[in-house]
């Protein structure tokens, strides 16, 4: 905690009214004015590769994951279970 933060706090540890530390941005001002950073080249390449071939590659990957989960590999089982709620909604 900086000295300035200590000076603006009350005895109970909360900020005093009218402090400037508790509000980093002005009302209506974005904390991220440049927006989301651009997609990384590897991510874009992976997305394009998986979208190609009418999703056949994705189906193959999912089949491998299911086979390994059924063979007892908990990592694949957990990954499948974590994605089941999103699969049901689509």
72 within a domain of the structure (yes/no): yes
9 within a domain of the structure (yes/no): no
When divided into structural domains, the chain yields a total of: 1
Predicted local distance difference test score (pLDDT) of residue 47: 83
65 within a domain of the structure (yes/no): yes
Q: Give the contacts of 66 (CB within 8 A, at least 6 positions apart).
A: 76, 80
pTM over 0.85: no
80 within a domain of the structure (yes/no): yes
- Using 50, 70 and 90 to split pLDDT, how confident is the model at 71? very high
- CA atoms 32, 38, 42, 45: torsion sign: positive
For residue range 35-64, list pLDDT tens digits in order.
Answer: 777 778 888 888 888 888 788 888 899 999
Highest mean pLDDT among 1-10, 18-27, 48-57, 71-80: 71-80
Q: Which domain holds residue 76?
A: 40-90
78 within a domain of the structure (yes/no): yes
17 within a domain of the structure (yes/no): no
């Amino acid at each position: 905690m900086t000295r300035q933060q200590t000076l603006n706090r009350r005895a109970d540890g909360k900020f005093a009214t009218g402090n400037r530390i508790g509000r980093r941005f002005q009302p209506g001002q974005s904390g991220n004015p440049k927006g989301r950073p651009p997609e990384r080249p590897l991510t874009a390449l992976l997305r394009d590769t998986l979208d190609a071939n009418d999703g056949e590659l994705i189906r193959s990957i999912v089949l491998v994951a299911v086979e390994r989960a059924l063979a007892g590999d908990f990592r694949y089982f957990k990954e499948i279970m974590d994605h089941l709620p999103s699969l049901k909604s689509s």
